[in-house]
Amino acid sequence: MSKSLFSLTALTIFLSLWNSLLIETLKSCPLECICLSQTQVLCNTGGLHHIPLRHLPANVEHLSLTKNHFPIIKTDAFAGLRALKKLSLDGNNITKIKQFAFRGLPRLKELSIQYTPLKAIARFAFAGLQNLSTILLTHNQIATIEAYAFAGTSNVKLILLTNNPLLRIESFAFSSLTQVGHLLLPAGIRVIEPDAFYGMFTVGLLKLAYMDLEHIKAFTFRGLSHVLLLTIQESDLGVINSEAFAGLTQVETLQLFNNKIDIIEALDFNETAGIKYLKFHGNHFLQTPPSEAISLDGVYHLELVDNYFPCGCQLQYLLESPFATKSFNSTRNLLEKNYCISPIELNGHLMADVEYNAPCQEHLLQGTLESTAALRCDRTIKTIPIVIVCISIKIVHLTVKFL
């Protein structure tokens, strides 16, 4: 066979194969889409009202379905696309994602659902995704995360929920979500139910910022374990209830930065907690808990820096608590690195500069006048420091002494 004839034959075979591939691609490509190849399909602004599952190439790896009209993502909506690695549903009018919507996508690595009117993450909506590395859920209208929304999903490097009007995280919302790199939640959260993070295991960063809570409820963090960094910052935390951190275990760093804290009912980190670093920086405490309500036996290193505490009679509580007795230098660090929030004449003063004569009269008479003080300061405690009660007690004491 001559060289020219061989070349012609090879060219004919190549063109035939290319033509067959092109015909197959056209046959398996929805009219509203552009199939750049069998593995990359773009269906953007095509006016689709349903997902063209039957017409998509079975081996598609990158699928973009942005700016269409999919109000509901149904169960098993992408069944059969087992090669799919990247899926974008941005800009659709999605209002509901049904349970197990993304089941049957074992190779899916990146899922993006942004700029939609989605109001809630329903039960099991993102369940069972074993190899997903990124879930982008920003700029939606998500107000609630329901129980078991991410159950069984693992190996996620990033779950991004910022820029949503999130108000409520239900119990078990992040249950059984494991091997998570970063979970970043939006500002404005008002309710976190007990056990919201139960069963969440091995987490790099869990960030809770700019919240507006009435309470951190008992057992909010129960079942959350093996966390590199749990940060609670720039928030109004209201009342930290007793056992708020009960059941939180094996945390490299737990930090509370720049929060307003009305009352700590109790702070109990027992021997099983395993908190390596507990850091309080820049917080404003309106009331100090009784010294016996604070336990730091499960904390290895404590940092108290640039916080503001009541420096009236409640200073006694601080000096008797583990905040001052945790280590050899704890008292010195407490007084030299933190400030007074009340009484008003001491606001902003370094605690070390406050003349302290213990015990003050409130501390001696607390048991007798506790009910009266609670009645007078029930709701005003958030705005008027309890030192008013202490001053009242001092006046009564001086009057009795004078008489």
CB 199 within 8 Å of CB 225: no
Query: Is 131 inside any structural domain?
Result: yes
Output the domain CATH number for residue 306: 3.80.10.10
Query: Is 211 inside any structural domain?
Result: no
Q: Are residues 288 and 335 in the same domain?
A: yes
CB 160 within 8 Å of CB 132: no
- Identify the domain boundary among 147, 165, 186: 186
pTM, two decimals, is 0.81
- Identify the domain boundary among 314, 336, 354: 354
- Identify the domain boundary among 186, 204, 234: 186
Query: Is 16 inside any structural domain?
Result: no
Q: Are residues 158 and 99 in the same domain?
A: yes
Contacts of 65 (CB under 8 A, 6+ apart): 43, 44, 48, 51, 87, 88, 89, 92
Query: Is 76 inside any structural domain?
Result: yes
Query: Is 138 inside any structural domain?
Result: yes
pLDDT per position in the chain (403 positions), as tens? 555 555 555 555 554 544 444 444 444 788 889 999 999 999 998 789 999 998 899 899 999 999 999 999 999 999 999 999 999 999 999 999 999 999 999 999 999 999 999 999 999 999 988 889 999 999 999 999 999 999 988 889 999 999 999 999 999 999 988 889 999 999 999 999 999 999 999 999 999 999 999 999 999 999 999 999 999 999 999 999 999 999 999 999 999 999 999 999 999 999 999 999 999 999 999 998 889 999 999 999 999 999 999 998 888 889 999 999 999 899 999 999 999 999 999 999 999 998 766 555 544 444 433 433 433 344 333 333 433 334 333 333 333 333 3
What is residue 364's predicted lDDT score, i.e. its pLDDT?
Answer: 41
Q: Are residues 224 and 177 in the same domain?
A: no
Query: Is 384 inside any structural domain?
Result: no
Q: Are residues 256 and 180 in the same domain?
A: no
Q: Are residues 165 and 224 in the same domain?
A: no
Residue 209 pairs with which residues in a beta bridge? 233
What is residue 392's predicted lDDT score, i.e. its pLDDT?
Answer: 39
User: What total of structural domains would you count in the chain?
Assistant: 2
Query: Is 275 inside any structural domain?
Result: yes
Q: Are residues 165 and 273 in the same domain?
A: no
Query: Is 98 inside any structural domain?
Result: yes
Q: Are residues 59 and 178 in the same domain?
A: yes
Q: Are residues 239 and 313 in the same domain?
A: yes
CA angle 324, 376, 283 (to 5 degrees): 35
Q: Domain range holding 164?
A: 38-186
Q: Are residues 332 and 287 in the same domain?
A: yes
Q: Are residues 60 and 181 in the same domain?
A: yes
Q: Are residues 158 and 45 in the same domain?
A: yes
Bond preceding residue 57 cis, omega within 30 of 0: no
Q: Are residues 54 and 108 in the same domain?
A: yes
CA dist list (Å): 48 to 14, 93, 204:
36, 11, 39
